[in-house]
Amino acid sequence: MKTSALTKRPTALWTSATRSYWSKDEQQRIPNYPFWQTVPQYARAAIAVEGGELQLFSLGRYAAGVKPTTPAPADIQQVGTVTGVGDNITHMAAAKDYGGVADPINDLILFTDRANRRWGWVKLANTGETATTGSVLRTMEDSRVDPIMVTMADNYSTQGNVLTVADYAGASIANYRFGDMIYPDKSSGFCTQAGACPTYTYLGEFAGKLALPFKPTLVHSSNVP
């Protein structure tokens, strides 16, 4: 166990330790060849603190999968910061997909900035073996909602690129499209490729709201038949 003292109060936490790397083998097939190559995977975490700063941490051997390791508290180290994310980051979540980003689950953070009624993505980048930085890639906002958290639906089969926002003050959840709609059935001739069914505007598209008999603090969305 390791504890760390923060100079500012924490408001949200994100980690890639349990995301995506379920195969545990750290290998992938070399394109156009019947061989495999080693692909090291480095889990990390981020802590949002008051003032809109993300403090980035390496998790070291604490997320080594099935490989035999002996992790030590010293493995957990702060490796960087991201500033200017927002004024009140109330939630961070996995970005399950994003066009042009090869590994969004581990290289992007989907954040909620409640104070400014907006949400968006932070893109992480390694600047060295032990250093990481990042910047805000994109934001969306809607003055009609009180976003306390945002999550993304899965993009398997039908690619919807849909976010669901928990609107606390509005006692509802709202959906927003942020990218192309792509259906898997090519024979339908409907939304079968990127660009065929884009969002209504380049900023995104409101996709409906569901009123609730309570004020939501947590929401999960999925892609089901």
Say what the pLDDT of residue 69 is: 74
Say what the pLDDT of residue 97 is: 92
pTM of the predicted model as reported, rounded to 2 decimal places: 0.86
Triad 123, 124, 127: Cα angle to 5°: 135
Spatial separation of the C-alpha atoms in residues 138 and 108, rounded to whole Å: 11
* Tally of CB atoms within 10 A around 89: 28
Sheet with 44-49: strands ordered across: 10-15, 44-49, 53-58, 77-82
Say what the pLDDT of residue 21 is: 46
Q: String of b and e for 140-164 (b: at least 16 CB within 10 Å)? A: bbbeebbbbbbbbbebeebbbbbbb
Say what the pLDDT of residue 4 is: 87
- Token reading at 77: 């180290």
Say what the pLDDT of residue 158 is: 86
Q: Consecutive sets of 10 residues in the chain, 225 residues long: mean pLDDT of each? A: 90 78 62 80 87 91 70 89 95 93 89 97 84 93 97 89 97 96 85 88 94 96 74
Which DSSP helix (H) or strand (E) runs through 28? strand 27-29
Say what the pLDDT of residue 120 is: 98
Count how many residues are written for the chain: 225
